[in-house]
Amino acid sequence: MNAPRRRREAVHGWLILDKPYGMTSTQAVGKVRFLFNAEKAGHGGTLDPLASGLLPIALGEATKTVSYAMDGRKIYRFTARWGEERTTDDLEGVVSTTSDKRPSREEIESILPRFTGEIMQAPPAFSAIKVDGERAYDLARAGEAVELAERPILIEALKLVDIPDRDHATFEVTCGKGTYIRSLVRDMGRTLGTAAHVTMLRRVAVGPFTEDHMISLENLVELGHKAPGGDVKTGALLPIETVLDGIPALAIDEEQARRLKLGQAVLLRGANAPIAEDAVLVMSGGKPLGIGTVVQGSLKPKRLFNL
């Protein structure tokens, strides 16, 4: 006779996972959801299986704020391997182009300004972007030639960190949404007159989340073993509103909160009341109520939390 399935719990907040190399983001979310026995879970920005590092995982009502994580700036550390371009632009693919040229430090540093600011970038063929309803990586794996249009991306900073040997160089980049590090390395190699692909990629920041917030799966399991009753939630979760530190906070009273929950607009009064805000974090009684919008001094519900 099969054992009864555990009833999922209403768990709310952010878990900032140090995703291990070789695991998909979907697998990571599944493991965290299992450890927390959570009803709902999602992530705030995919990491490739061959990448490691910061994967923000939203549990419960935090899933309503995922877009704020995905839109936040990211910081990556990565290593480029000169002399080989690969079909996937990383170690997973087969070698497609080779070059004997190895760039010097001076040559590398001279091109960095070209890849800083708002630039145009063509995503890699092996990406999740849809082409006529199909994922680009599915078409590429089937042997079809995939040409993805260039699109604007923002790179706030790009610096050379180390040159461990003549074949490799390590960098750190601060970038916006939609940036592909594999494409960046491919394009840097071509600009330097050589070929290149990514051999190491690690994400260290997403929006307000940094390395200081990260926890490994091993430590998460250990935390569950040590906590009373195996409750892994103790000390591991960040509040839902952590990801919303970039938008203004607005405190309302109990009666205003009641009206907002009913879907009614609330007229804001007082010298400090905002006249217009596209998004505000609405707080009531010291707890997050949801995300609202202010139009002509009137607060309207945008996305309320069911806490």
Per-residue pLDDT 10s for the chain (307 aa) are: 455 566 888 899 999 999 999 999 999 999 999 999 999 999 998 898 999 999 999 999 999 999 999 999 999 999 999 999 999 999 999 999 999 999 999 999 999 999 999 999 998 876 667 766 777 667 666 666 667 788 999 999 999 999 999 999 999 999 999 999 999 999 999 999 999 999 999 999 999 999 999 999 999 988 865 555 556 666 789 999 999 988 999 999 999 999 999 999 999 987 677 888 899 999 999 999 999 999 998 999 999 999 8
- Of 223, 204, 209, 184, the residue nearest 89 (C-alpha): 184
So what's the pLDDT on residue 132?
65
Mention the CATH class of domain 74-206.
alpha beta
pLDDT, tens digit, for every residue of 86-122?
999 999 999 999 999 999 999 999 999 999 999 999 9
CATH superfamily for domain 247-304: PUA domain (2.30.130.10)
So what's the pLDDT on residue 126?
67
Annotated catalytic residues are 48
Torsion sign (Cα): 194, 198, 201, 205: positive
Cβ of 298: how many Cβ atoms within 10 Å?
A: 15
Tokens of 302: 């945008």
Cβ of 155: how many Cβ atoms within 10 Å?
A: 18
So what's the pLDDT on residue 3?
52
CATH for 13-72+209-241 is 3.30.2350.10
Do 13-72+209-241 and 247-304 share a fold? Answer: no
Strand order in the sheet with 266-267: 249-251, 277-284, 287-295, 298-304, 266-267
End-to-end CA, the chain:
36
Written in H, E and C, the secondary structure of the chain is CCCCCCCCECCCEEEEEEECCCCCHHHHHHHHHHHHCECCEEECCCCCCCCEEEEEEEEHHHHHHHHHHHCCCEEEEEEEEECEEECCCECCCCEEEECCCCCCHHHHHHHHHHHCEEEEECCCCCCCCEECCEEHHHHHHCCCCCCCCCEEEEEEEEEEEEEEECCEEEEEEEECCCCCHHHHHHHHHHHCCCCEEEEEEEEEEECCEEHHHCECHHHHHHHHHHCHHHCCCCCCCECHHHHHCCCCEEECCHHHHHHHHCCCCEECCCCCCCCCEEEEEEEECCEEEEEEEEECCEEEEEEECCC
Domain segments of the chain as ranges: 13-72+209-241, 74-206, 247-304
So what's the pLDDT on residue 123?
86
Cβ of 274: how many Cβ atoms within 10 Å?
A: 12
CA dist 251 and 260 (Å) reads: 12
Residue 102: phi, psi to the nearest 5?
A: -125, 120
So what's the pLDDT on residue 134?
72
CA dist 147 and 178 (Å) reads: 17
CA dist 215 and 82 (Å) reads: 33
